[in-house]
Amino acid sequence: MKKQIQIAIDGPAAAGKSTIAKKTAELLGYTYVDTGAMYRAITYKALQENIDLQDEDKLTYLLKDTLIELKPSPDGQLVFLDNMAVTEEIRSKEVTASVSAVAAHATLREEMVKRQMEMGKNGSIVMDGRDIGTHVLKDAELKIFMSASVDERANRRYLENQNRGIETNLEELKQEIALRDKLDSERQASPLIQADDAIFIDTTYLTVDEVSEKIMQLAKERMS
Ligand code: CDP
Ligand code: CDP
């Protein structure tokens, strides 16, 4: 039984990646890495420091000089930027609207991917994002590409925001998600794309538990 596998979960915004990745990691006793939170953290810092989001060199230098840490907690994953907690701040409307522009820069991604590879190198990891199966964990034993209709994804984000006490407009959310999907899929540097060896799961009509069960079954197959 090979126990320490790598699991890569990719897909568009609000497909359920982090919910499922976190749950799978808990069930297996693995580490969970939310790579989207890392891109959000550097975007938050760039906005705070008024850096031109088109300036690839400046943003890459900024990242090289920045400590981003992800720490598990009973309330979910906590995100620290230069030792400061930014878990909530990185989910703001401003960061969400700017993150795809920052994540499009090739040299910034190189630095990010280097850090993520280091985090995943010993296995026992579930990592979610956009380029995990295609770039970060290319040899992962299990690769999942998860999606759902844009209506369903917007609805999920809407309900999620409501539960966090944040009022949002469903139509605006749908447009924001569709635009981010387009930017993430059409960029030159490691675009959002399904890896050849990834398993596609359409979660539109599946509950969190149903998706989780499916992935646990696949993980157990890969471990044996
Ligand atoms: O949770 P949500 O789907 O809204 O997004 P996220 O996973 O937090 O990712 C935020 C953004 O970071 C994405 O829209 C991508 O632009 C970027 N990202 C990326 O380029 N590569 C990754 N591996 C993860 C995120
Ligand atoms: O990480 P990503 O942006 O792909 O999505 P997420 O933040 O994990 O999921 C967005 C919301 O959809 C969460 O509130 C989940 O509980 C919910 N969800 C769902 O209702 N049904 C699923 N099959 C998966 C997620």
pLDDT > 80? residue 157 = yes
DSSP letter, residue 8:
E
Which residues contribute to the annotated binding site?
11-19
Identify the nearest ligand to the CA of 18 by its number: 2
Confidence category of residue 170, pLDDT binned at 50, 70, 90: very high
- The HSE-up count of residue 152 (CA atoms within 13 Å, CB side) is 13
Query: Token pair of 66, please?
Result: 């920045």
Instruction: Collapse the DSSP code of 162 into the 3-class scheme (helix H, G, I; strand E, B; otherwise coil) and give the result.
Output: helix
> Is pLDDT of 2 > 80?
no
Determine the average pLDDT of the residues in 153-177.
93
Q: Cα separation of 128 and 112, whole Å? A: 14
Residue 207, ligand 2, Cβ within 6 A: yes
With the most atoms of ligand 2 within 8 angstroms of its CB, the residue from 156, 159, 166, 208 to mutate is: 156
Q: Which ligand is nearest to the CA of 209?
A: 2
Name the residue among 189, 50, 193 with its Cα closest to residue 111.
Answer: 189
User: Where does ligand 1 bind, in terms of residues with CB under 6 Å?
Assistant: 13-14, 18, 35-37, 39-40, 99-100, 103, 129-132, 180, 184
pTM: 0.96
Nearest atom (ligand 2) to Cα of 210: 23
Mutate which of 39, 160, 184 for ligand 1 pocket (most atoms within 8 A of beta carbon): 39
Q: Kindly state the average pLDDT of the residues 50-71.
A: 97
CA of 224 to the centre of ligand 1 (A): 32
Q: Please give the CATH topology (third level) of the domain spanning 6-223.
A: Rossmann fold (3.40.50)
Predicted local distance difference test score (pLDDT) of residue 3: 78
Ligand 2 atom nearest the C-alpha of 128 is 1
190 Cβ below 6 A of ligand 2: no
Residue 1 has pLDDT above 60, yes or no: no
Residues 6+ apart with CB under 8 A from 96: 40, 176, 180
Question: CA 133, 82, 46, 48: dihedral to nearest 10 degrees?
Answer: 140
pLDDT tens digits, 89-127: 999 999 999 999 999 999 999 999 999 999 999 989 999
Indicate whether residue 99 lines ligand 2 (CB < 6 A). Answer: no
pLDDT of residue 74: 81
Domain boundaries, the chain: 6-223
pLDDT at 67 over 60: yes
To the nearest 10 degrees (0 to 180), the angle between helices 170-186 and 150-163 is: 120
For residue 143 and ligand 2, the question of a CB distance below 6 A is answered with no
